Structure 1
Amino acid sequence: MFHNLVQGLRLAFFLPASSIRFRLSPGAFWFIAALGALISLLVGLYATEPPRIFQAEGVFSETFLLASILAGSFIASKIVGDPYSQYRTPTLFLNSIIAPYVIYSVFEQEITLTYYSDYPELFWWSYYALIAWTLAIAYRAVKLSSSGATPRHLLAALVLTILTFLPAHYLYFYDFWITDYTQTMAQKPEAPTLDAERILSRQGPLLQKQLDQMQASKPGEQDMFFIGYAGWGDQQVFANEVAFAKRLFNQQYTQSGRELILVNDVNNPEGSPLATATNLETALNHMETLIQPEEDILFLFITSHGGSDHSIATQLSNLPLNDIPAEKLGKILDASPFKWKVVVVSACYSGGVIPYMENEDTLIITAAKPDRTSFGCSDDAEFTYFGRAFLVESLTQNASFVAAFDQARDLVSRWEKRDGFTPSEPQIRVGEKILQQLVKWSEGRENTEIKCQTQCE
């Protein structure tokens, strides 16, 4: 068995190799298959940050990969016209791809992830390099395993490589290990105790002050009003996202005086009105005096933790705050003076809010499916995965909310695959009428910008 590994290394590093030097038998095949699974387990242990949870489902991923390689070898044998190569190729191929896999995993962990913020293209460069290396190995393995013309060997190697990599792009492959984020949260130091009576008693005047500073819209001009809601105040990441979103909308999407933020922030508990259902209802009711209900658009951005019951977590140290159930959030929005609404909910299980607010007048975007968690809400994170993808990477470059979502969904998928997370699968529901209004609003913004530029010259 050790002899096969040595020959596999020679084949992988393009040294002279011969099929007769491989010792081929059913035992040799199952040995290298088991060794490959063990190496995957150890590499996953190395790449996953503690505390870790073992996932037995990783066995299914390894089994499916093995089945794909066997299927690829069978098809390759048909292409080259050598039926016996279907038994030789898998053993040669498996012994040869261990080294590239280990090298790629170490490079990804030590280089790609370390320098990802400066060189995000490293992720794809290294991945494409792995595919190219695997294709070269597949070609050598097929050529050593069978007779026939070189063009057939190339085609057979291409099929084997495609079947090795393609399933991972369409199916979720479980890793053997994931980080136990629930244990990480339990180990967090407790938030400082706040003066609950003082903070809660000041909510009315603080919220009213913010509302009084908002500007009314002009009849005949379609305007957008932004409300940011950062529900979980014991972690800074949610307040960061709302602050960034407010700046972004002020610069690109709304006129000054059309933004309001409700923020729970243990580091600045009295800096903004609290993110609570009561304050959200009060703010929306007040806006009835500022807006043209049939024209203006509400953009509500909610970021927080989310529960498996699809509620929006609302937390600020020791303050007695209530989570917002999905049904209640839907009722608050139904009762609001805005006919046209864009609602973005960045939280775990946030897809569960969709049934409570879905209609033809509303665009709904969520960070995850109803049964999936989202990622990136750690204490040291500046933004969540979805917040960074949607706000920072997409909305800053694209005025279309739908196009920005499409780009953000792709980015989140790449990052989750890179980090070995279960896909969150962000969701979108686009009402037919709100889409027409957003097109109209976008055209109005462009005309306003042109008019301003002409008058300023």
Structure 2
Amino acid sequence: MVLRTLYRLAVITALCAAPLSLPAGAQDNPNQPPEHTEPFPNIGIGQTREEMLESFAEAPQLKRGEPARVLLDQRRRLARSLDALAPQRSGSIDAYVVSIALDSDPVFAREAREAGRVLARRYGANGRVLTLAGPDGTRDDLPRGSIESLLVSLAHIAELMDTDEDVLVLYTTSHGNELGLAYHYGDTGYGVLSPARLAEAFEELGIERRILIISACYSGVFVPALSGRDTAILTAAASTRNSFGCEPENDWTFYGDALVNRALREPQPLTEAVRAAGRTIAGWESERRLLASLPQSAFGAGVSAWLPTLEAGMPQVASAPVGRPAVGE
């Protein structure tokens, strides 16, 4: 199992390192994300396999060759975005939405940006939405997603929200492997966000009411670690399956398109949206003879105490899907 896990990590991160296919003139576009041109580094040098797995569980993050001015700019962007978040309102169940792209392939930035808008509209989170995403080919105006920026953001939001009353809605999109989510920004940022590390952060910060939506291959690995009484967790795939649609030129992955761009725009309960998205994805995969991704969902026993109240305020008129669909129609 250890060998297989490490092998899958090497294979998936090698796939992440494939250069983007850029249109003519894109190299001169300041909003074009950086290419993956170098192999994912061995961030477990000198460790045994067991020590490497223990290290990956702690969510290692490596940055190399990042210009000092870029580091300063990213720090300022994150600080401004966090400072702009509104405080919670006593007596009201407020949703705080975080949408993050952990890989610089532009499909993830596009998906994270629109997912933040869709989820903010659905859950009345205007003023309480934070999107962490790099350039998407048309703009570069947000703090980038990384393991560090996510954890810092969660800590800040925990200080703003009433953790006994409010809800965190987290959307993550990236490549994934059996160890967790891949953080990979061009040739300068690398890491693995493990289920154990994310669960540890939630426990430390006291964030219990959670809607967690994880779009990545193998994302079912997060279900056992993050399930809880007040958690609804939705993943794009089972713990042993790939998900699809993450080509850089896409606007959506299969899961993001089916769940966020379609089902969650409709005035229907989250449980119904999950089932509708599952049917859509199964149809797409069957038509293309792809091995089923088997999206997962788990709703804790306590979710029914607050989710209906939160969803009672959702818009009763559906919004139209945007962007190029993950599957040509």
The two structures share one fold, judged by TM-score above 0.5: yes
Which residue does the alignment assign to 1:425? 294
Given the alignment of the two structures, is residue 360 of structure 1 paired with residue 229 of structure 2, yes or no?
Answer: yes
Which residue number in structure 1 is paired with residue 53 of structure 2? Answer: none
1:315-334 superposed matches below 5 A: 315-334=184-203
- Cα gap change, 1:188/1:353 in structure 2, threshold over 3 Å: closer, same or farther? same
Q: Give CA-to-partner distance per residue, 1:185-215, whole Å, 9 cap, x none.
A: 7464571898543322333321110011111
Is 1:396–2:240 an aligned residue pair?
no
Q: Does 1:383 align with 2:252?
A: yes
Aligned: 1:191 with 2:35? yes
Residue of structure 1 in register with 2:134 after alignment: 264
TM-aligned CA deviation for residue 312 of structure 1: 0.7
For the pair 1:219 / 2:63, whether they are aligned, the reply is: no
Find the counterpart in structure 1 of residue 76 from structure 2.
205
For 1:31, the equivalent position in structure 2 comes to none
Which digits, 9 at most, give the CA deviation of each residue in 1:104-131, with x for residues without a partner?
xxxxxxxxxxxxxxxxxxxxxxxxxxxx
The C-alpha deviation readout for 1:218-274, integer Å capped at 9, x for no partner, is: 1001111100010111x2111111111122133332232110011133747952222
Structure with higher helix content = 1
Which of 435, 445, 449 in structure 1 is aligned with 2:304? Answer: 435
Runs of 4+ off more than 4 Å: 182-185, 187-190, 192-195, 266-270
**CA-CA distance at 1:402 after TM superposition:** 1.6
Deviation at residue 356 of structure 1 after TM alignment: 1.2
CA 1:388/1:251 → structure 2, altered by over 3 Å: closer, same or farther?
Answer: same
Structure number with higher relative contact order (C-alpha < 8 Å, ≥ 6 residues apart): 2
Q: Any idea what SS the aligned residue of 1:292 has?
A: coil
- Looking at structure 2, the residues matched to 325 and 255 of structure 1 have their Cα atoms a distance apart, in angstroms, of 27
Matching of residues 240-259 of structure 1 within 5 Å: 240-259=110-129
Superposed counterparts of 1:244-323, under 5 Å? 244-265=114-135, 267=137, 271-309=141-179, 311-323=180-192
- The change in CA–CA distance for 1:268 and 1:279 in structure 2 (over 3 A counts) is farther
Q: C-alpha distance in 1, partners of 2:16/2:175? A: 14
TM-score by length of 2: 0.74
Query: For the Cα contact (< 8 Å) 1:266–1:316, is it kept in 2?
Result: no
Q: Quick check: which one's strand share is greater?
A: 2
SS in structure 2 opposite 1:423? coil
Cα pair 1:196 1:318 within 8 Å, conserved:
no
Distance in 1 separating the partners of 2:271 and 2:282: 17
Q: Is the 8 A contact 1:363 1:435 kept in 2?
A: no
Query: Which residue, 391, 409, 426 being the options, matches 2:278?
Result: 409
User: Matches of 1:265 and 1:390 in 2, distance apart?
Assistant: 23
Contact 1:285 1:337 in 2 (8 A): no
Distance 2:87 2:118 in 1: 20
* Contact 1:265/1:316 (<8 A) preserved: no
Output aligned runs, 1:227-242, within 5 Å: 227-233=98-104, 235-242=105-112
Max Rg structure: 1
For structure 2, list consecutive stretches of 5 or more residues without a partner in the other structure: 1-13, 22-33, 38-64, 317-329
Distance 2:220 2:98 in 1: 20
SS at match of 2:85: coil
Identity among equivalent pairs (%)? 26
| Equivalent residue, structure 1, for 2:242 | 373
Shift of 1:375: 0.3
The SS at the match of 2:112 is helix
Residue 358 of structure 1 deviates from its aligned partner by 1.1
SS of 1:377's equivalent?
coil
- Counterpart contact for 2:202–2:208, Cα < 8 Å: no
For structure 1, which runs of at least 5 residues remain unmatched after alignment? 1-181, 450-457
- Cα distance in 1 for residues equivalent to 2:129 and 2:106: 20
Distance 1:213 1:186, change over 3 A: closer
Q: Is the contact made by 2:278 and 2:295 (CA closer than 8 Å) also made in structure 1?
A: yes
The answer to whether the 8 Å contact 1:192/1:266 transfers is: no
What's the secondary structure of 1:321's corresponding residue? strand
Output the CA distance in 2 between the equivalents of 1:388 and 1:406.
14
How much has 1:399 moved relative to structure 2? 3.9
Q: Which residue does the alignment assign to 2:209?
A: 340
